[in-house]
Structure 1
Amino acid sequence: MTRLDVLGNVSRDVTRYPNHRGGARIGGAALFVALAAARAGRHAAPVCVLGQDLAHVPQAPGLGGIDWSACSKAEGPSTRFDLRYNLQGELINVRAAYGVAERLTDHVLAHIERYPDGEYHVCCRHPLDAAAVLSRLTHHRATFSIDFFLTSAETMIRTAAPWLNQASALFVNAAEHRLLQSLADTTALPEVVVTDGPRPARVWSFGREAASVLPPSQPPREVSGAGDTLAGAFLAHRSRGATPTQALAEATEAAAHFVAAPPLPVPARPRA
């Protein structure tokens, strides 16, 4: 099976909730998508740039199954996100310092040139130059899927619009789906996976509902990364021939387990 290469960030995150949940953890869409895909049995690799503070992450326990051969390491700090949520788990503010991920686009484009026949998932989020990446993937006729991040979704959907109908799947939450419907012809999109918190997750195929699954009810400890987890698991199961309904059921189960589990701590640096 072709490896799933996930183009995006691995970061140091701080999550904050009004009831004092949250705290420091390792995160980033490329990590969560690749980890969920690997746990679902798919060979997956984050294509990312790690700073000196996270250079040891590939050796950390708890991240088994991920292929780290496509990550680059650079001098300087890794990406950092400060994510503030309300009690309903809705993101209300984000602050970012991209650090060495400012080099992400160059690293990704070089990787695509080395593996033009690969299969890719594109995390359409800053600081990635989504237009350059999607243009290159389309030029090589590579298979790729896409997700967005709410705070930059409108800009990124507009940027990605010329290539959206070439994507095998798009992953959005309910608010991003409304933006997508206002900015693109969703009847031309093969597969759009829409999450909506505790409400049913749905798959739309060329504008028609192809699957609907009510997520398991799990008290959330940490919601950041739930959508990425769902995307990675869904892609893994679809790659093995699961129907949209089967893949969505497995993916919502994986996301429910993710939000109920303790967050991934920032791994300690190994002793010299």
Structure 2
Amino acid sequence: SIALAAPPGSLPDVKMMTLFGCGALLLRGAGCTINDLLDRDIDTKVERTRLRPVASGVLTPFQGLTFLGFQLLLGLGILLQLNNYSRILGASSLLLVFSYPLMKRFTFWPQAFLGLTFNWGALLGWAAIKGSIDPSVVLPLYASGVFWTLVYDTIYAHQDKEDDLKVGVKSTALRFGDSTKEWISGFGLACISSLALSGVNADIGWPYYAFLTAASGQLAWQIWTVDLSSRADCNRKFVSNKWFGVFIFGGVLFGRLL
């Protein structure tokens, strides 16, 4: 959203991109730390997660809490570099950051909560540049991120579905079951449609839509070729989402420049 908020013909604010890059790492890192602390008993029973630092005993819970405090302190330092509107908006995301790890205990839709949490930066980046949010641009962008998360994290969750059943936690992979591809196809379509709407409302140039077409192809490829019964293939398709992100960022960048 920082690149999308740049004036036509201009590159995105490099300082702000750097701050947000560091902030994203810290926010996601803090979320992972909270998740590891809260799920340490569950993680020992799941093949993929049993070697996580707290679950495996490499770190004690107190050491994990200390590290979390360090992450949040650094995050606060970044937040204080922003305008007041963005500070309030950024601080409000902490409710999602702290509550997301608990969702798998209560709902089959933890991936939706992950999407709401991880994509908060779509709102924050625009606000950091403009001093407020433009709902017609930012809300479709935020929604697209949530839908994208529902695609890639549902694929990711299929790696753990057998273990999740054993330990009694929930996921969209378990909720959708054999209908997963139909569900994530719908989310993929909603993601691309939301990105297109955001671009139209932001009055972005034609390269954005060319890159969006390429991103659509990448998303369709992973959805229709993923073998949901193969942990290795689910992980490969999950990792391939980096290219979807590259296409979208490239589209925004060149759409603003040209």
TM-score by length of 1: 0.29
The structure in which a higher percent of residues are helix is: 2
The structure in which a higher percent of residues are strand is: 1
Compare relative contact order (CA 8 Å, sep 6+) and give the higher one, 1 or 2.
Answer: 2
Find the structure with the greater CA-based Rg: 2
